A and B are shown apart, each in its own frame.
Chain A
């Protein structure tokens, strides 16, 4: 029972990374300028790498013939435990940047907590990933400020992005049963996370409404309609050619 919950927790971490990585990769060849196209796809690569580490560990614990590939490619929407934020559409560049900032800010704090936990493998993955997440947070923070405090057009677009995405941030801090088992306290992350958002939003001339109704359910497998479309594309090869390997 406890092992099942731990596996679910690892899947939750891996799914967050995989789905955001997949979303960011949709920018490949479409970034606003070459340097930022390369930046967002490099971030993708880091996230997919994290997902691989988590899925390899989950496969080891499951010990039922599962592999990192089967975990990524052969589960259905309801089995995915990623939070709703990461599956939201890219929208314009501003919305992608904001989603990255909101999530990297969270992941940065979460991995700091995780790297000090008893589970050696999870701690190692967190320690390793933290170096890259630091980049992601810095890069996305800078872009939120540039765009929020940029032209009237970019400012309006960032306001729209906040309006679109803010409702998916509450879920990050609502603990799921498997998080409790892993000894992770996401509730305590909310204060430093909010402080960071306020710091960056102040510089970016952005604000959010305290009264937003928060959506949740992703951690339990209840997703927005977008996840099915993501999986259709992500899982196509394994579904069409079962067992294919690179």
Chain B
């Protein structure tokens, strides 16, 4: 395989092998971080967007993309970070949501519930990724990483992470 024979679709397949270091069940494609790949002559540009502003995984993800491109033979590479339009959990692929659930993390609900300033709102109804019950409650709005909240299932009693809407 040489870089001359790699097309954009194949590049996506390669980038799909790079996982989010903090949620290793998901690739950067699943997350919707890679916005575009552009060739400028012999230079390759990968356009990415951060999930959360302060997400410490982004530096590592950038490094992994560079390594992957170098392995494929791209010497001239450029990683561009764009902030607008801002990343949203709506960009997570269906495949990504399924992988998250299998991994034990509740995927983001399809409808935004949380991006408002209304106070003391009722907890979002989140399905337990273990026993599928909706009988769950929020323990903490912030979890082990910026993108997750902590929930507990009232039926199977298991605590679990919820990848919150953003």
Contacts and interface: CB of A to CB of B under 8 A. Distances in A.
Nearest to B118: A138
Nearest to A38: B142
A7 to B, nearest CB: 19
A35 to B, nearest CB: 4
Contact of A50 (B53, B114, B119): B53
B141 A39 contact: yes
Interface residues of A, number: 34
A38 B143 contact: yes
A16 interface: no
Contacts of B84: 120, 123-124, 127-128
| Interface-central residue, B53, B84, B115, by most chain A CB under 10 Å | B53
A69 interface: no
A224 interface: no
30 contacts: A34-B140, A35-B139, A35-B140, A35-B141, A35-B150, A38-B140, A38-B142, A39-B141, A39-B142, A42-B146, A44-B54, A45-B56, A45-B146, A46-B53, A46-B146, A49-B50, A49-B52, A50-B54, A124-B84, A125-B83, A127-B83, A128-B53, A128-B87, A129-B53, A130-B86, A131-B86, A135-B141, A139-B141, A142-B119, A142-B120
B116 interface: yes
A120 B114 CA distance: 26
A92 to B, nearest CB: 21
A171 interface: no
A142 to B, nearest CB: 5
A169 interface: no
Interface string A141-181: 11001000000000000000000000000000000000000
Interface string B44-55: 000000101111
Given A128-B84, A141-B119, A145-B119, A49 B53 contact: yes
Interface in B116-163: 116-120, 139-143, 146, 150
Nearest to A42: B142
A120 to B, nearest CB: 8
A212 interface: no
A30 B53 CA distance: 24
Nearest to B82: A124
B117 A137 contact: yes
A47 B83 contact: no
A213 to B, nearest CB: 30
